[in-house]
Amino acid sequence: MSHDPKHWYDHAEDARKLAAQILDPISRRTMLGIAESYESLARRAKKQLQQQKNQNKHWPDQDPTCLNQKDRLAAVSPKSDQVF
């Protein structure tokens, strides 16, 4: 399953376009329901993505783009005066 909201929004758009071409009302409603399901998946994926971004703000060691290697190691290593 894709975690990219755009993937699901694109599917929803395609389903709506297809629904617009369907003449049978029951089939059209079914296809619009499928489009809504894709929208729901897109919203969930977007929410999960935002939660991941928020978590990375609090834990810089989990986001390799925000610190260099030395700083990442310092962020996760216990502070100690011991010399090994």
Q: What digits encode the pLDDT tens for the residues 67-84?
A: 555 565 565 555 555 444
Q: Could you give the CA distance from residue 58 to residue 76 in angstroms, rounded to a whole number?
A: 13
pLDDT (0 to 100) of residue 2: 75
How many angstroms separate the most distant Cα atoms in the chain? 77
pLDDT digits (tens, 9 = 90+) for 13-65: 999 999 999 999 999 999 999 999 999 999 999 999 888 888 776 555 555 55
N-to-C CA span, the chain: 46
Tokens of 72: 């990442």
Q: Could you give the CA distance from residue 8 to residue 41 in angstroms, rounded to a whole number?
A: 6
